[in-house]
Amino acid sequence: MTNPILLHEDLGDGTTRLTLNTPHSLNALSDAMLAALSNAFAGIATDTATKVVILRGAGKVFCAGHDLKEMQAGRAAPDKGAAYFADLFARCAEMMQAITTLPQPVIAQAHGIATAAGCQLVATCDMAVAATGTRFGVNGVNIGLFCSTPMVALTRNVGPKQAFEMLLTGEFIDTTRARDIGLINRIAPPEALDAETLALARIVASKLGSAVRIGKRAFYDQAQMSLADAYAYTGAVMVENMLQPDTDEGIRAFLEKRKPDWPA
């Protein structure tokens, strides 16, 4: 029986883990993998039991980006692949945006390499933990393909000069550099990567789920607004949050020096 290309695990306490499971192709974002991820996120979005998602890769690397063999095969069409490539990048963009709009936070757990669209995947996730020795790159320029779509997520994580240098040189950066420029949050020894990522996930899962969902939505929405509009919008979000019964319980518990009685 063929192993599924995307493993879906319930780790308990509101934590779901997705594992890219095509190590033979370095967990490339093939057509099938994009579809599997999109379907998984669509299901998780309506799963009230899931409070946080971990995304990792099986085998030696996290993700090596798009499947170049599959892309080259697309050139056989009469239009030299124009329609296929347009559809591919649109499907990839839709999947990446599904992570951002997912109500639950997503933590990338990276190891080995995360390159091109794989680096885009790390940048798209809300947080990221990486094993010492992991390398990150948007190195399409080395084969004559500027990483324009990965650039969208990258430039929303790191400064413009740092992003442009990565995009233009195609050079890899290490975990220390990735953390320094804001691409990842934490670094762990390879043998402790699972535990470190799960510890971060458990912290997130322990918070009031409705507040986290409201906060994630507001985090991305306000980033696209002017300063005045952002304050007006987030003020309304704070009102929405304050009026929730579970938030009232949280404040009462704090004032009464006890743990809040929140739903599991």
CATH, residue 238: 1.10.12
Question: 260 in a domain, yes or no?
Answer: no
The verdict on 201 and 231 lying in the same domain is no
Pairing outcome for strands 6-12 and 15-20: antiparallel
The pLDDT, as a whole number, for residue 258 is 94
pLDDT at position 13:
92
Tell me the residue range of the domain where 17 lies.
6-205
Cα torsion 142, 86, 107, 220: sign: positive
Q: N- to C-terminal Cα distance for the chain?
A: 36
Q: Which residues of the chain have pLDDT under 70?
A: 1
Spatial separation of the C-alpha atoms in residues 251 and 221, rounded to whole Å = 26
| pLDDT for 74 | 87
Closest CA to 262 of 14, 16, 10: 14
Same-domain check for residues 226 and 158? no
Given this model, what pLDDT does residue 21 score? 98
Domain contains 81: yes
Nearest-angstrom CA–CA distance, 174 and 132 = 8
197 and 213 fall within a common domain: no
Is residue 261 domain-resident? no
Q: Are residues 68 and 156 in the same domain?
A: yes
Residues 132 and 235 in one domain: no
User: Around 37, how many Cα atoms within 13 Å sit in the side-chain half-sphere?
Assistant: 30
Question: Quick one: 14 and 138 in the same domain?
Answer: yes
pLDDT value of position 3: 85
- The whole-angstrom separation of Cα 32 and Cα 256 is 52
Domain for residue 264, yes or no?
no
Q: How many domains does the chain have?
A: 2
- pLDDT tens for 47-61 read 999 999 999 999 999
Q: What is the pLDDT of residue 146?
A: 95
Say if residue 31 is in the same domain as residue 91. yes
Whole-model pTM over 0.75: yes
Same domain membership, residue 250 and residue 200 = no
